[in-house]
């Protein structure tokens, strides 16, 4: 693991939180889930013995059990708290085993002879060397590998816990054949893809590649017909939001920026100090576990000199999810700007 960023420490801490990220992407996750299981059915993926990496709170695990009631599923995760949530979420399913597992431990994966190994938004949270190592190790114990991740540059700087990989290249380096399916909808100008890989070029894998190629041709034709504009809405929004913040926050001031660490333009706020929220040692540390944590951290930063708290549009969901924080802000501080890009409060009672 990187000396600068400890992957396990981050995810153990995040595992203690209570589902804020799932609430943020709930609608997109429903689309992602439909696409995943429709594709698995379409390609007739064998699913008798399944191992799931990074099951989290059991969002995909429960659907695996529901869609494949005759399967035997082993669900792995690093976080004890997440495993407990997953067990509760999947309590009605009798075909799942849960086990704590550390990718970085060097221990072998439990079991062997799996039909399919599945990882949804898991490999992207590990450096390329670890993603490749996991793929190589899984290919020894599983006929097929399935993952959903982002696989092209984001319009902003990825946070420290996200790595963008070229999975087709990673699979090829690991000696695997890979079919790629593009999800039908982007999220915040980002495109996810579903990858299905296998070490052996069987007749089933040839058929899988043909289906993927046909789907890609249809999508590319539709995109060409649509002739999307070259300038993204995201870029225009970010430029306007940056200018608005510079107009709100006086030079020499510090301000709290709630943007889920998505902008990557901190250096543009010349003469002003940007404080991520939540922060740990000056770095972004994920959303708060609850309202009490959010309010106490806000007050700590306010008392240390932060003049404003500003929510960027990627984080407007905070004001719905953390209702206690919203009430605290509305009742004690003046809202000095509210538009489609920003909501800003002046932290002076």
In the chain, what is the greatest distance between 2 CA atoms, to the nearest angstrom? 69
For residues 24 and 119, state if they share a domain.
yes
For residues 47 and 30, state if they share a domain.
yes
Q: Tell me, what DSSP letter sits at residue 313?
A: G
SS3 content of the chain, % helix, strand, coil (to 5): 45, 20, 35
pLDDT band, residue 227 (cuts 50/70/90): low
| Number of domains forming the structure of the chain | 2
pLDDT band, residue 155 (cuts 50/70/90): confident
Mean pLDDT for 306-331 is 92
For residues 24 and 159, state if they share a domain.
yes
Task: Note whether residue 100 is domain-resident.
Answer: yes
Q: What is the CA radius of gyration of the chain?
A: 22
What confidence tens digit (pLDDT) does each residue in 244-255 have? 999 999 999 999
The last residue of one of the domains, among 183, 207, 226, is 226
What confidence tens digit (pLDDT) does each residue in 92-146 have? 999 999 999 999 998 999 999 999 999 999 999 999 999 999 999 999 999 999 9
The answer to whether residue 224 scores a pLDDT higher than 80 is no
What local confidence, expressed as pLDDT, does residue 13 receive?
80
For residues 19 and 67, state if they share a domain.
yes
Q: Regarding predicted confidence, which is higher, 346 or 205? A: 346
Task: Note whether residue 119 is domain-resident.
Answer: yes
For residues 246 and 270, state if they share a domain.
yes
Task: Note whether residue 90 is domain-resident.
Answer: yes
What local confidence, expressed as pLDDT, does residue 223 receive?
64
Task: Note whether residue 45 is domain-resident.
Answer: yes
The answer to whether 22 and 29 are in contact (CB under 8 A) is yes
132/31 Cα distance (integer angstroms): 27
The last residue of one of the domains, among 187, 205, 226, is 226
What local confidence, expressed as pLDDT, does residue 1 receive?
42
For residues 175 and 160, state if they share a domain.
yes
pLDDT band, residue 23 (cuts 50/70/90): low
First-to-last C-alpha distance (Å) of the chain: 44
Q: Residue 345: CA atoms inside 13 Å, Cβ hemisphere, count?
A: 21
Q: Which helix (H) or strand (E) holds 15?
A: helix 7-15
Task: Note whether residue 17 is domain-resident.
Answer: yes
What local confidence, expressed as pLDDT, does residue 22 receive?
64
What local confidence, expressed as pLDDT, does residue 230 receive?
44
Task: Note whether residue 1 is domain-resident.
Answer: no
- Phi, psi at 64, each rounded to 5°: -60, -45
pLDDT band, residue 225 (cuts 50/70/90): low
Proportion of the chain above pLDDT 70, given as a percent: 93
User: How is residue 119 written in tokens?
Assistant: 């990882």
The last residue of one of the domains, among 208, 226, 244, is 226
For residues 302 and 206, state if they share a domain.
no
What local confidence, expressed as pLDDT, does residue 120 receive?
97
For residues 136 and 188, state if they share a domain.
yes
Task: Note whether residue 127 is domain-resident.
Answer: yes
Closest CA relative to residue 7, chosen from 86, 123, 92, 117: 123
Average pLDDT of the chain is 89
Q: Which domain holds residue 11?
A: 7-226
For residues 48 and 190, state if they share a domain.
yes
Q: Tell me, what DSSP letter sits at residue 111?
A: -
Among 19-28, 30-39, 158-167, 171-180, whose mean pLDDT is lowest? 19-28
Identify the sign of the CA torsion 15, 17, 19, 23.
Answer: negative
Sequential DSSP letters for 135-147:
HHHHHHHEEEEEE
Task: Note whether residue 2 is domain-resident.
Answer: no
For residues 170 and 308, state if they share a domain.
no
What confidence tens digit (pLDDT) does each residue in 264-301 have? 888 889 999 999 999 888 888 888 889 999 999 999 99
pLDDT band, residue 231 (cuts 50/70/90): very low
Proportion of the chain above pLDDT 90, given as a percent: 62
What local confidence, expressed as pLDDT, does residue 14 receive?
77
CATH at residue 192: 3.40.50.150
Q: Which helix (H) or strand (E) holds 276?
A: strand 273-276
For residues 170 and 128, state if they share a domain.
yes
For residues 103 and 135, state if they share a domain.
yes
Mean pLDDT for 219-238 is 67
58/150 Cα distance (integer angstroms): 20
């Amino acid at each position: 693991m990187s000396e600068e960023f400890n992957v396990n420490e981050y995810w153990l801490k995040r595992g203690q939180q209570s589902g804020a990220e799932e609430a943020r992407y709930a609608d997109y996750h429903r689309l992602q889930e439909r696409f995943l299981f429709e594709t698995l059915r379409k390609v007739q993926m064998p699913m008798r013995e399944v191992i799931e990496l990074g099951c989290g709170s059991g969002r995909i695990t429960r659907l695996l059990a529901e869609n494949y009631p005759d399967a035997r599923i082993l669900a792995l995760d690093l976080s004890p708290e997440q495993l407990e949530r997953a067990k509760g979420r999947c309590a009605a399913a009798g075909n799942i085993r849960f086990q704590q597992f550390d990718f970085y431990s060097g221990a072998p994966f439990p079991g062997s002879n799996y039909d399919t190994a599945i990882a949804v938004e898991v490999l992207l949270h590990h450096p390329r060397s670890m993603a490749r190592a996991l793929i190589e190790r899984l290919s020894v114990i599983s006929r097929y590998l399935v993952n959903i991740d982002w696989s092209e540059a984001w319009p902003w700087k990825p946070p420290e816990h996200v790595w963008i990989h070229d999975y087709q290249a990673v699979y090829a380096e690991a000696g695997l054949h890979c079919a790629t399916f593009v999800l039908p909808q982007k999220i915040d100008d980002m495109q996810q893809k579903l990858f299905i890989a296998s070490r052996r070029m069987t007749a089933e894998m040839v058929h899988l590649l043909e289906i993927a190629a046909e789907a890609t041709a249809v999508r590319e034709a539709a995109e060409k017909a649509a002739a999307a504009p070259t300038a993204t809405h995201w870029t225009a929004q970010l430029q306007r939001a940056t200018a608005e913040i510079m107009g709100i926050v006086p030079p020499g001031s510090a301000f709290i920026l709630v943007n889920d660490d998505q902008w990557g333009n901190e250096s543009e706020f010349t003469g002003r100090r940007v404080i991520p929220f939540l922060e740990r040692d000056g770095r972004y540390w994920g959303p708060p576990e609850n309202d009490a944590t959010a309010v106490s951290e806000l007050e700590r930063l306010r008392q240390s000199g932060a003049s404003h708290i500003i929510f960027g549009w990627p984080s407007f969901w905070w004001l719905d999810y953390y209702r206690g924080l919203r009430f605290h802000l509305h009742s004690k501080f003046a809202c000095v700007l509210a538009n489609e890009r920003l909501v800003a409060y002046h932290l002076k009672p």
